[in-house]
A and B are shown apart, each in its own frame.
Chain A
Amino acid sequence: MLEIKSLGFKYQYKTILSGLSFDAKPGEILHITGPNGSGKTTLMSILAGLRKESAGTIHYRLPDGTTALDRRSFVEYLPAEANALFGKMDAMSNLRLWLRLRGLDDSDNAIRPILKNWELDHPLIRENFSVESFSTGMKRRLALARLELSKTPCWLLDEPLYGLDAKGIDTFQTMLNGHLLSQGITIIVSHDIAPLERFRVRKLDLLHDGRAS
């Protein structure tokens, strides 16, 4: 479980987030909503460990009730408008790198079934074809394949459907369903709410003053 208490964040004397308290439980989707500039992406980057909160605490509770020393081991972040892929490397090399950094199985047998789910398993796509030549949708699918392979219990998804076609959205829904069934946590920022309607979603609405309603 991810527990956030009295979270605050200031940027150059401007309060972006203030007194935010919420938790994200296993098997649920927490949908963060709010107008532009309300701090949704800032909140995601704080939860991912990219920014340091100005106030409050963030704890990732392990199933035995103890607090994780480094929550990054349990959290995978998918940023908005970026996929964090090395353009000069091919799909397999990219995935192998991220898996090795987490100490996960990076064999072909582990990677290729997931690539197949995301329709990236063609030999001309997965190897010897740099990711920079991929279309927007293909890059997003590869980033989502990394998310699935990360096997982390907590996913932070900032506009995950960006660039996906109908088939990609369908694959995303299947992946998300599997994650929730395995008691995974999902915190999502998305303006495209239709694909989330089939799931039970809890909402956290951020207001302009940095508080939540």
Chain B
Amino acid sequence: MKTFLAQYRALLWQAVQVEWANAERWLSPLLFSGTMILLFVFTFGTVEPKFIPQLYIAATFLTAFFSLQISFSRVLEPDMQDRVFDQLRTYPISPSAWFLSKYTIVIALGVLILAPTLFLSDLFLNVSGKSLLNGSLAIIALMALLSLGALGVLLSTMMLRSNAKQILYPLIYFPLTIPVLLSAVESSHAILVDGKDLSYLMSSWLGLLVIFGIMYFTLCLLLFGELVKPE
């Protein structure tokens, strides 16, 4: 356990250092996000107040989905340089510690992208004067992020180990994210449009989101070990 924690901390600190030194890596998805929202604002112009929540949900999740994909697909980029990834595989590292360190940095980067996206969408798209941001929406967004993050780490690692690098990610990532996105969008819709609360949603869309989160996290944690062991 002591070794596990020490390895987790070492790998996480390394990831933080590399991300900090490469501001472009998290700034690009963030700028992409801002640009997308501005495009939505200009495209839709003035929207009837009753359609604002729908537009908010669509624009926010679409923007967040693509900007997170950009961020996640690059999470193992620093490890690809100078055969660092291979060297890590020659060390007696716990695959779980390795996965969790990458997962933590992915979630941190995801929050860094998701939070401004939610805020900017509300600021620019919602002209009603009453903020759409609330705790329930933040929880739904975080739950979606937890699922997508696990997939992001796994698929980035698969890309490193595969010859079909460019095609593999979109081919697997998009179908697997559909249930997560669908339940996140439906949950948000139920809260912002239908006025439901989280406890009500736990037995429907939010429950599905939680189940997919747990399932993806567990699967990715287990599969990651398979990806880093000898070929």
Binding site for B on A (CB under 8 A): 45-46, 48-52, 70, 72-73, 75-77, 79, 82-89, 93, 96-98, 100-103, 130
Contact of B6 among A75, A93, A103 (CB under 8 A): A103
A interface footprint on B212-231 (CB within 8 Å = 1, 0 otherwise) = 00000000000000000111
Residue among B17, B90, B93, B230 with the most chain A CB within 10 A?
B90
A48 to B92, CA, bound (A): 11
A93 to B229, CA, bound (A): 26
Cβ distance B162 to chain A, nearest Cβ, rounded Å: 15
A93 to B17, CA, bound (A): 9
Inter-chain contact B21/A88, CB cutoff 8 Å:
yes
A28 to B13, CA, bound (A): 37
Inter-chain contact A103/B3, CB cutoff 8 Å:
yes
Inter-chain contact A102/B230, CB cutoff 8 Å:
no
Inter-chain contact A88/B17, CB cutoff 8 Å:
yes
Inter-chain contact A101/B83, CB cutoff 8 Å:
no
A76 to B3, CA, bound (A): 18
> Apart from A82-B83, A83-B83, what are 12 other A-B pairs with CB-CB below 8 Å?
A48-B90, A51-B230, A70-B92, A85-B82, A89-B18, A93-B17, A98-B91, A100-B6, A101-B7, A101-B88, A102-B91, A103-B6
Which chain B positions have C-beta within 8 A of A50? 86, 89-90, 230-231
Which chain A positions have C-beta within 8 A of B10? 96-97, 100-101
Which chain A positions have C-beta within 8 A of B170? none
Inter-chain contact A89/B21, CB cutoff 8 Å:
yes
Contact of B86 among A46, A70, A79, A102 (CB under 8 A): A79
Asked if B87 is at the interface of the complex by the 8 Å CB criterion, the answer is yes
B interface residues, tally (CB under 8 Å)? 28
A146 to B86, CA, bound (A): 15
Inter-chain contact B3/A84, CB cutoff 8 Å:
no
CB closest chain-A residue, reference B84: A84
CB closest chain-A residue, reference B230: A52
A76 to B13, CA, bound (A): 22
* Known A51-B230, A101-B7; contact A83-B82, beta-carbon cutoff 8 A: yes
Asked if B78 is at the interface of the complex by the 8 Å CB criterion, the answer is yes
Which chain A positions have C-beta within 8 A of B231? 50-52
A7 to B78, CA, bound (A): 33
Cβ distance A60 to chain B, nearest Cβ, rounded Å: 12
Which chain B positions have C-beta within 8 A of A83? 82-83
Cβ distance B88 to chain A, nearest Cβ, rounded Å: 8
A84 to B14, CA, bound (A): 13
A45 to B87, CA, bound (A): 10
Which chain B positions have C-beta within 8 A of A86? 14, 17-18, 78, 81-82, 84
Inter-chain contact B9/A49, CB cutoff 8 Å:
no
Which chain B positions have C-beta within 8 A of A82? 82-83, 86
A interface footprint on B1-29 (CB within 8 Å = 1, 0 otherwise) = 00100110111011001100110000000
Inter-chain contact B17/A89, CB cutoff 8 Å:
yes
Cβ distance A93 to chain B, nearest Cβ, rounded Å: 6
Which chain B positions have C-beta within 8 A of A97? 10-11, 13-14
Closest 9 pairs between A and B when the two form their complex, measured CB to CB: A84-B87, A100-B10, A82-B83, A88-B21, A52-B230, A72-B92, A73-B92, A48-B90, A77-B90
Contact of B89 among A49, A70, A75, A100 (CB under 8 A): A49
Which chain B positions have C-beta within 8 A of A101? 7, 10-11, 88, 91-93
Which chain A positions have C-beta within 8 A of B89? 49-50
Contact of B90 among A72, A96, A130 (CB under 8 A): A72
Inter-chain contact A100/B230, CB cutoff 8 Å:
no
A87 to B13, CA, bound (A): 15
Inter-chain contact A84/B17, CB cutoff 8 Å:
no
Which chain B positions have C-beta within 8 A of A102? 91-92
* Known A50-B89, A72-B90, A100-B10; contact A84-B18, beta-carbon cutoff 8 A: no
